[in-house]
Every structure is written in C-alpha cells, then in structure tokens.
Amino acid sequence: MFGLKQKDNLGDIVAGIENEAEELFRSRKMNCAEAVLATLKNHFRPELPDEITHMATGFGGGSGSGCICGAVTGATMAMGLVVNNDKKRLKDLTRELHKWFTATYGATCCRVIVAEQKGICASLTGKVAGKAAELLA
C-alpha cells in the first residue's frame, strides 16, 4: 500500500501521515494546504515533483480570507492526483471528507473554526491528511 511495507497496518500508516503533515505545518515552512498536499503526494504519488505543492500555497488560511479550510483544500487536491481517472469516486471521496470534517470540527470555514478553537490548525492539518489517506486506502 502506497510504497510502505505490507506489514504496516493502516492505523500506523495514518498516524505517520498525520504526524508528518502536522510537523510540516509546525515547521512554518508550509501552510495547512501545502502540508496536507505534500504529505499525501509523498505517500501516494512520490514520482510527482515536489513543486506540485506550490499549487496549494494560495489556499492556506482559507484562501487567505478565512473561507474553506486550507487543509481540506489540500486534501481535495491530493485526492485528485491519486484518483485522477475516476470522477465519480473522487466526488464521493471529497463528499466523505467534507462530511467527516464538518462532523468533527463543526464547519468547513477556517474563520469559524479558528474563532471557536484557537491553536487547532497544526493538529487539524495532521488529522485531515490522515483522514484523506484513510479514505484513499
């Protein structure tokens, strides 16, 4: 499964992906959208150039305006890279991600989430990357 040893179980893989995305965000080298996209790209499409992550730069912080969470946007873009020939599956995965995210965080709006849960962005970034990996697996 996506370049990792078969003996690894899905829970361990997801936890590793969560940690990797969270650390990329905490390093301040990447925003939430970039961290999620980079992590998922590295695990599911490692042959793609790292520069692909730059597509996500403008989506951090809710596209700079506090709208849809950048981590969700980064995950959606990453899922598009992985499921690139099956629009129905991609739509279903995206819908499932949004449904999970709303149930978990109460909204998809960055501004709303940050106002209600200060300091959540790093852990949220990791959780979104993990959930996307789980959905893709």
- Please write down the HEC assignment for all residues of 80-118: HHHCCCCHHHHHHHHHHHHHHHHHHHCCCEHHHHHHHCC
pTM of the model: 0.91
What's the pLDDT tens digit per position in 15-33? 999 999 999 999 999 999 9
pLDDT at 64: 82
pLDDT at 1: 44
CA dist 130 and 83 (Å) reads 17
pLDDT at 66: 82
Q: What is the pLDDT along the chain (137 residues), one digit of tens a residue?
A: 444 444 468 999 999 999 999 999 999 999 999 999 999 999 999 999 999 999 999 999 888 888 899 999 999 999 999 998 899 999 999 999 999 999 999 999 999 999 998 899 999 999 999 999 999 99
Per-domain boundaries in the chain: 10-136
Residue type, 35: A
pLDDT at 103: 97
Please count the residues of the chain.
137
Residue type, 79: M
In sequence order, which residues have a C-beta less than 8 Å from that of residue 88 and are 6 or more positions away? none
pLDDT at 8: 66
CA dist 128 and 37 (Å) reads 10
What's the pLDDT tens digit per position in 74-84? 999 999 999 98
